[in-house]
Amino acid sequence: MDKTKVYFKNFIGTSYEVGTQIGQWALSTPSLLKQVLLPPNAYPHDKFTKITGLLDMYCQGINEEIKGFSDTIGVSSEQALFYAMTYLERGCSLMAVLPSKSKSEHTLMARNYDFNNEMEEMCFAFTNIKGKYRYIGSTLNLFGRCDGMNEHGLAVCKASNGIPVGNFEGGQKAGATGFSFWVVVRSILENCKTVQEAIEWTMSAPIGYNINLMLADSSNKIALLQCMDGHKSYKLLDEYSEEAFLSVTNHALLEDIKPYQKKIIENSVVRNNKIVEVFTGKKQLSKKDMKTLLSTSYPDGLCCHYYKEFFGTLRSMIFDVNDKTIEMTFGSPQVNEWQTFSVGALEVQEVEVLLPQERARPDFYKIS
Q: What is the chain's Cα-based Rg? A: 19
Percentage of the chain lying above the pLDDT 70 cut: 95
Higher pLDDT pick, 208 / 197: 197
Q: What is the pLDDT of residue 167?
A: 47
d(CA 226, CA 215): 11
Which structural domains are found in the chain, ordered by start? Answer: 6-85 (no CATH), 92-355 (3.60.60.10)
Q: What is the pLDDT of residue 170?
A: 47
Which stretch, 47-56, 139-148, 166-175, 260-269, has highest mean pLDDT?
A: 139-148
pLDDT, average across residues 35-62: 89
Residues 6 or more apart whose Cβ sits within 8 Å of residue 39 = 79
pLDDT band at 84 (very low <50, low <70, confident <90, very high): confident
69 and 37 Cβ atoms separated by less than 8 Å: no
pLDDT score recorded for residue 163: 62
> pLDDT tens-digit profile of 304-360?
999 988 899 999 999 999 999 999 999 999 999 999 999 999 999 999 999 999 999
Q: Could you read off the pLDDT of 143-184 as tens digits, one per residue?
A: 999 999 999 999 999 998 876 554 444 455 555 677 889 999
CB count within 10 Å of CB 330 equals 28
pLDDT in tens, 217-252: 999 999 999 999 999 999 999 999 999 999 999 999
The answer to whether 147 and 125 have CB atoms below 8 angstroms apart is no
Range in 30-39, 70-79, 91-100, 105-114 the model is least confident about: 30-39
Record the pTM.
0.91
User: How many other CB atoms are found less than 10 A from the CB of residue 169?
Assistant: 5
